[in-house]
Homo-oligomer: A and B are copies of this chain.
Amino acid sequence: MEHKFAERARFVTSSETREILKVTERPEVISFAGGLPAPELFPVEALKEVCNAVLNEEGAAALQYSTTEGYIPLREAICQRMKSAGIDSSIENVLITSGSQQAIDLTGRLFINEGDTIICESPTYLAAINVFKSYNAKFVEVAMDDDDGMVMEELEQMLRDHPDAKFIYTIPDFQNPTGRTLKLERRKRMIELANQYDVLILEDNPYGAVRFAGEELPPVKHFDTEGRVIYLSTFSKIFTPGLRLGWICADETFIDKYVAFKQTADLHTDSFAQRITAKYMELYDIEEHINKIKAVYKERCTAMLSCIEEFFPNHLSYSKPEGGLFIWVELPEGIDSAHIFTECLKNNVACVPGAPFFPNGTQKNTLRLNYSNMSKERIIEGMKRMGEVLHRELQNDSLLTV
């Protein structure tokens, strides 16, 4: 009865990379493939107290249907946190979503007509590519510099070439998959260009709060004077991903429409999860918790970078993130990282091949490494194994191509 499916079902398949992740879940595999936060940092003990407090103080309300917009004290706490990051907003600008994945999806629904053009970093977040593809969008990729993020001259060229582009999709801080950050002047320039070419910006900012080195930068939305930046973020990287809590911060005109789509999508986000998160922020200092996360991720990132220096062939280029969860490695041209992945798996170590992160096809000589989900010892052991594979495979390759 597959003939009954809608046309759009053709554009949606279970993500290849998700299938890869399943393979890497075998306990003997040291996996740098996923994008999971460190579970040992989840505030499990605190949450016992928090659940109890929520159920004691507002049990029935916490379990009842609630408003689509989201729990007011949670939205207030979000506004507060965004304020210290440089975004002025009120609760009317904030919609709670079921993870920031839903925020991306609702953005697709609200804005993308079939064939619309999205301008994005090259490479970019895989699950966003999948969402936008499900709405049958076209992608225009803009190259990034290793240290400074999206190249503004190229962005301007693309805006000139695609005057009907619907929005610029950007992950300015510690981008997934590259770990790169858009530098300050480019943030300002991106806003100027968006104003000039009358295009929206979708700022996806799940990692900005997890900066463990360098100087803090204001979000792109900080420079927005015309209400054209839609800002997305999440509690997944600073609290827990399992509760599925994200948010959209945007102009009220946009939020009103988002609310209408959210109603059709799932009525509202889990009331209990929202109250747990708000109560946690009331009873505990979430900044202190985030500082713990930063310290651990810094140690792991530093360890992984040292391992690249020590164990990997030395003509590779790679990013040196100041936050977030990922390092991006470029292998010599002509090397297919899918093959490296297969070889690594034989050594019980895993990464993610980079090709799927390029929406229009393939830059096959890239791979993404995650450092947040693994102890330093396991990182060292895994990187050793991966180094062996890379030495062998790159040698083979040079033998072949000489």
Residue pair A267, B127 in contact (C-beta under 8 Å): yes
Interface residues as binary, A257-289 with B (CB distance below 8 Å gives 1, 0 otherwise): 101110111111111110010000000000000
Query: Which chain B residues border A52 with CB–CB below 8 Å?
Result: 48, 51-52
> What CA separation (Å) do A110 and B194 show in the bound complex?
34
Interface residues as binary, A318-333 with B (CB distance below 8 Å gives 1, 0 otherwise): 0000000000000000
A217-260, CB < 8 A from B: 226-228, 236, 240-244, 251, 253-254, 256-257, 259-260
Q: With CB as the reference atom, state the residue of chain B lying closest to A112.
A: B6
> What CA separation (Å) do A63 and B45 show in the bound complex?
12
Q: Smallest Cβ distance from A203 to chain B, in angstroms?
A: 15
> What CA separation (Å) do A261 and B61 show in the bound complex?
31
A126-152, CB < 8 A from B: 127, 130-131, 134-135
Q: Smallest Cβ distance from A57 to chain B, in angstroms?
A: 11
Q: Smallest Cβ distance from A93 to chain B, in angstroms?
A: 14
Q: Smallest Cβ distance from A11 to chain B, in angstroms?
A: 10
Q: Smallest Cβ distance from A241 to chain B, in angstroms?
A: 5
Query: Which chain B residues border A113 with CB–CB below 8 Å?
Result: 6-7
A166 close to chain B: CB less than 8 A: yes
Which of the residues B59, B68, B263, B276 comes within 8 Å of A130, measured between beta carbons?
A: B263
A173-213, CB < 8 A from B: 200
Query: Which chain B residues border A254 with CB–CB below 8 Å?
Result: 1
Interface residues as binary, A38-67 with B (CB distance below 8 Å gives 1, 0 otherwise): 011010100110011001100111111110
What count of chain A residues pass the 8 Å CB interface test? 84
Query: Which chain B residues border A59 with CB–CB below 8 Å?
Result: 42, 44, 47
Residue pair B263, A18 in contact (C-beta under 8 Å): yes
Contact A260:B14 (CB < 8 A) given known A112-B6, A272-B243 = yes
Which of the residues B9, B167, B243, B244 comes within 8 Å of A267, measured between beta carbons?
A: B244
> What CA separation (Å) do A257 and B134 show in the bound complex?
12
* Segment of A101-109, A155-163, A293-301 engaged in the interface with chain B: A101-109
Residue pair A267, B99 in contact (C-beta under 8 Å): yes
Query: Which chain B residues border A314 with CB–CB below 8 Å?
Result: none
Q: Smallest Cβ distance from A97 to chain B, in angstroms?
A: 8
Query: Which chain B residues border A227 with CB–CB below 8 Å?
Result: 1
A13 close to chain B: CB less than 8 A: yes
Contact A266:B105 (CB < 8 A) given known A111-B6, A113-B6 = yes
Query: Which chain B residues border A81 with CB–CB below 8 Å?
Result: none
Residue pair B270, A14 in contact (C-beta under 8 Å): no
> What CA separation (Å) do A116 and B61 show in the bound complex?
39
Residue pair A266, B98 in contact (C-beta under 8 Å): yes
Q: Smallest Cβ distance from A272 to chain B, in angstroms?
A: 5
Q: Smallest Cβ distance from A138 to chain B, in angstroms?
A: 14
8 residue pairs of the A-B complex, CB under 8 angstroms, read A1-B200, A1-B226, A6-B113, A12-B261, A44-B59, A102-B265, A242-B271, A244-B269
